Structure 1
Amino acid sequence: MTGTSAPALPARPDRRTAQVLASGLLQELSHAFGGPFHFLLPEHFDANLAAFRAALAEAGVTGEVSYAKKANKAAVWVERCAAAGAGVDVSSAGELREALAHGVRGTDITVTGPAKHGYLLRVALLQGCLIAVDSPGELDHLLALAAQARPARVLLRHRPPGQHSRFGLDDAETAAALRRCAGAGEVVRMEGFAFHLSGYALRPRADLAGQLVTWCRRARECGLPADRIGIGGGFPVDYAAAADWYAFLARQRPGHYHAGKVFPADGFYPYHSPVAGADALRAVLATVPAGHDRPLGRLLRDAGITVMLEPGRALLDRAGATVFRVQGVKDRDGHAVLTVDGSSLSLSEQWFNSEYLPDPVLLTPAGPATGPPAHAACVGGATCLENDMVSWRKVPFPARPAVGDLLVYPNTAGYQMDSNESPFHELPLPPKVVVDGPADRPRWRLDRHAPAH
């Protein structure tokens, strides 16, 4: 079918990704692997890390940036952290082993998550990791282990007030935990507090950080060091231009999705954010928290407090993409239905009853297809499940996709490309390829992380 009313949502252009698409490398890799794959661009990770550090320096705030490892399992990101002296945030024994194995020092690792297994606590303790304690029982368990090994480095994870989160300590539990730490003597070093907030609003982060500055003062009155605050991640990523995003939201309707699929009105990630990445950190530090008379950055400086960040998606902005090969094309109800050589498990927004919306690039043997949108197609996976849709949306392509063409989903390194992947139907997990080298001759290597099957 020629001509389509389906709205487009082009991703923000990225020079390095465009160079890789134009190089011919992706067609070669698709032939070599015989299935879907992801390519990774570590130079963008390095640049994003440097941008967060620059924002801290501009505000005159002492800070530490740790990569939230859950955002992407590739080893290259941990390698880049080790090379740059950055930290890593982990939540399992496997993630801790990976971080240590790829060169990150134990003292640069923060261990988070609820109800941590005793083995994870023991290894983290022996390696000198900073442990974010989620409950009174976990604190008791950790202190008992520390009495037999070495002093525990502790953050108390504070539950956001007024929320129904299952994580963290409420005010009464936090006060009791301070007394418990103060009474434990040399068994523990209570270094401060941490929190995690859902969503991407900036003011709540500044407000809660301001509250934790007050808690640090209370902890110091108990004789505890309390010189750091962990404000987590949740820094938004700006995937698409404002005009494109708002035009898409205004135009999209159930008829633009396969089988009239309907998503919750607030179910999509905010693919445009006017303040994103390191600029979001600047905005948080410049906000005057509720109950205070100075910006958060000034409060932190005056109190001698180090702020700890744990971005995941924001460190991976533009740092990778996902490539599928079209292996089937059919027409249904005025649009094409594509079948690709992978599954929706490699674009994990399905987990949230949502969809990854930035337009994939159609890569033909002649190169990226260009021109006005003329051919609408949804994208299904190669499994026997009706709901295995990589894109429920009828994506407007400038040319009709054909068998053998590639679909390149841009900017998928932040959670999309492997959060939900599994070897369903005995299909292998898509490999990850690290791409570097000059624009006219990019080099590649397999990421050294070998997923368990």
Structure 2
Amino acid sequence: MAVTLPALLGEEQRALLAPEGAALLHELRHGLGGPFHVLFPERFDANAADFLKVFAGSAVDGRVFYAKKANKAAVFAERAALGGLGVDVASRGELGAALAAGVRGTGLVVTGPAKDDDLLRAAVLHDALITVDALDELDRLVRLAAGLGRTARILLRRLPPTQSGLDHAAPDAAQAQSRFGLDDGELEAALRRCGDPAVELEGFSFHLSGYDVRQRADQAAGLIRLCLRARGLGLRADRISIGGGFAVDYVTARDWRRFHESARPGHFHAGKTFSGYYPYHSPVAGADALRAVLETTPVGESVPLERLLRRHNISLLVEPGRALLDQAGCSVFRVQGVKDRDGYGILTVDGTSLSLSEQWFGSEFLPDPVLVPGAREPVPGPYPACVGGASCLETDLLTWRKIPFPVRPAAGDLLVYVNTAGYQMDSNESPFHELPLPPKVVVDRLDHARPRWRLDR
């Protein structure tokens, strides 16, 4: 039988799974009539405060930009605006949503490859910071800004060296070359073009996959050297962006080790195997990972990154998404049926795996879902079961692993997948089979009594 892999729970999620919170979950399921997501904005606030404390403690001039792609909910962009954070956007839709949430144009950084002219035009008009990914994009931006009689604020994105592969992969993933950024020759050409008054070069950035602290610090030092070179050419160059890549700790080190030591194909429905998993345990995560980057002495340097930044009066921009959403939400499904099959069960829930987006990476969201029984006499377990979606596709499984549930699930029970706010709950959502998209419910406990809730705007 597969081992359990219980998820770490924040205060908000523990309260929601307690008897009073569980009653609220069943009420919400009855009222909403389908699966739904729960959001905890106060947890977002706490995570943001942790990042800001790291900057304050290191005396580094830093700015946090929430990576909006990590979750489509309006409430997190609203909290970013209220908390003085910027927002990282990569489309006109995200840009418009951030502005509507109260984020000023100067608080936006526009990323993404090969941005179209409409997005670039809106970014220039709102005085947003624009990450330039290619020479042809820089040329288009110069012409567009000149035509508007404006100056575009830009960062040049540097192509990183060969690095770990996909963002979700384990640190020992196969090496891969990024498709984002300018190589050294292109950077030289771009620096020459940045003398045009239609653009102001504020600094440099990179897109780095994975969570390697040293690699991120080394690349940051390289950007500092680029800033110094650009200043020698009379350009401003006083900030760098190291993007996101701050891991989230979902499970304990012991449980993560036990999973890897014991996992085999027989623990998964149909003997399913995966090439890799997100590192669900990380010894250094969230704001602590930012602190570790700042305290690392880059290769070729004699002092930590934080001292290099202070010495050269360079600001550091970070763009966390998942790390700001740690413990900030969960996803709730109702069990519709239980089928016994060859020593384990197949649960069918009222949603689909499109609402757990790790399958986008050909992988599995591994932390155990929590069973919240309905009004019934439970049948003692353990009862191993995988979890299938309500579609006609064999591959529509929310969980391939045969979870050892403590009691036998039954129709009417709820399954709560915890800590899904970061990239899981809506990256791939689709009204497949004309099923409605799960609504998002914002919950707070400001009155310290029964939780208050509302639908996300």
Q: What is aligned with 2:61?
A: 62
2:206 to 195, 216, 219: 195
Give yes or no for the alignment of 1:14 onto 2:10.
Answer: yes
Q: Helix, strand or coil for the counterpart of 2:194?
A: helix
The equivalent of 2:117 in structure 1 is 118
Aligned equivalent of 2:179: 166
* 2:358 counterpart of 1:349: yes
What do residues 172-208 of structure 1 show as CA deviations (whole Å, max 9, x unaligned)?
Answer: 11111111102x0x32111000111011111110000
SS at match of 1:205: helix
Tell whether the 8 Å contact from 1:370 to 1:398 is kept in structure 2 after alignment: no
Return the TM-score normalized by structure 1: 0.95
- Deviation at 1:434? 0.3
Three-state SS of the structure 1 residue aligned to 2:202 is strand
2:304 aligned residue: 295
In the alignment, structure 1 residue 248 sits paired with structure 2 residue 244: no
1:89: how far off? 0.2
Residue of structure 1 equivalent to 2:274: 263
Deviates more, 1:164-173 or 1:403-412: 164-173
* Gaps in structure 1 of 5+ consecutive residues: 449-453
Q: Summarize the alignment of residues 14-33 of structure 1 with structure 2, pairs less than 5 Å apart.
A: 14-22=10-18, 23=20, 24-33=23-32
SS at match of 2:115: coil
| Corresponding residue SS for 2:407 | coil
Q: In angstroms, what is the RMSD of aligned CA positions?
A: 1.5
> In structure 1, how many angstroms separate the alpha carbons of the residues matched to 2:56 and 2:189?
35
Q: Which amino acid aligns with 1:411?
A: N
Q: 1:55 deviation in Å?
A: 0.7
Using the TM superposition, give the Cα deviation of residue 101 of structure 1 relative to its aligned residue in structure 2, in angstroms: 1.0
| Pair 1:378-2:374 in alignment | no
Structure 2 portions without partners, runs of 5+:
164-176
> What is the identity, as a one-letter code, of the residue corresponding to 2:257?
Y
Cα distance in structure 2, aligned partners of 1:65 and 1:78: 13
Q: Is the 8 A contact 1:319 1:411 kept in 2?
A: yes
The alpha carbon displacement at 1:162 in A equals: 3.9
Query: What is the rounded CA distance, in whole Å, between the counterparts of 2:404 and 2:319 in structure 1?
Result: 36
Cα shift at 1:370: 12
Give, in whole Å, the separation in 1 of the partners of 2:2 and 2:397.
17
Instruction: Return the letter of the residue paired with 2:90.
Output: S
Amino acid at match of 2:37: H
* Structure 1 residue 14 displacement after superposition: 2.0
C-alpha separation in 1, matches of 2:362 and 2:341: 23
- What's the TM-score once normalised by structure 2's chain length? 0.94
- In the alignment, the residues of structure 2 paired with residue 382 and residue 338 of structure 1 have an alpha-carbon distance, to the nearest angstrom, of 10
User: What amino acid maps onto 2:59 in structure 1?
Assistant: G
Q: Which residue number corresponds to residue 415 of structure 2? A: 407
- Return the alpha-carbon distance in structure 2 between the equivalents of residues 370 and 206 of structure 1: 53
Alpha-carbon separation, structure 2, partners of 1:400 and 1:128: 57
Shift of 1:283: 0.4
C-alpha deviation, 1:126, in angstroms: 0.3
Percent identity over paired residues: 65
AA partner of residue 153 (structure 1): R
Give the stretch that moved more between structures: 155-164 or 249-258. 155-164
Which residue identity is paired with 2:405? F
Q: Which residue of 1 aligns with 2:171?
A: none
CA distance in 1, matches of 2:322, 2:379: 29
Q: Is 1:175–2:174 an aligned residue pair?
A: no
Aligned counterparts of 1:224 and 1:376: Cα–Cα separation in 2: 62
1:224-235 matches, cutoff 5 A: 224-235=235-246
Local SS of the residue matching 2:386: strand
Which string of whole-angstrom CA distances, capped at 9 and with x for unpartnered residues, describes residues 12-57 of structure 1? 1322112122221110011111111000000110000000010111
Report how far residue 161 of structure 1 moved.
2.6
Aligned twin of 2:227? 216
CA contact (8 A) 2:350 2:390 kept: yes
The aligned residue for residue 74 of structure 1 is 73
- What SS class does the counterpart of residue 398 from structure 1 fall into? strand
What residue number does 2:166 align with?
none
* Aligned partner of residue 246 in structure 1, secondary structure: helix
CA contact (8 A) 2:379 2:408 kept: no
Q: Distance in 1 between matches of 2:449 and 2:4?
A: 30
Say if 1:258 and 1:393, in contact at 8 Å, map to a contact too: yes
Which residue number in structure 2 is paired with residue 445 of structure 1?
A: 454
- Measured against aligned partners, the alpha-carbon deviations of 1:256-286 in whole angstroms (never above 9, x if no partner) come to 100111111xx11000000000000010000
Give 1:440 deviation, angstroms: 3.5
Q: What is the distance in 2 between the residues matched to 1:285 and 1:115? A: 31
**Which of 303, 307, 324 in structure 1 is aligned with 2:316?**
307
Residue in structure 2 matched with residue 435 of structure 1 by the alignment:
443
Aligned residue pair count: 439
| Rounded Cα–Cα distance in structure 2 between residues aligned with 1:96 and 1:322 | 26
Q: How far did 1:366 drift? A: 5.7
Bigger mean CA deviation after superposition, 434-443 or 77-86? 434-443
Paired with 2:436 and 2:76, the residues of 1 have a C-alpha distance of 22
1:331 aligns with 2:330: no
Matches within 5 A, 1:416-435: 416-435=424-443
The 1:370–1:66 alpha-carbon spacing in structure 2 relative to 1, beyond 3 Å, is: farther
**What corresponds to 2:88 in structure 1?**
89
Deviations 1:367-389 (A, max 9, x none): 9x899x61111000000001000
Letter in 2 for 1:176: A
1:439 shift after superposition? 4.8
The separation in 1 between residues aligned to 2:204 and 2:402, in whole angstroms, is 46
Query: Does the Cα contact within 8 Å between 1:16 and 1:439 map onto a contact in 2?
Result: no
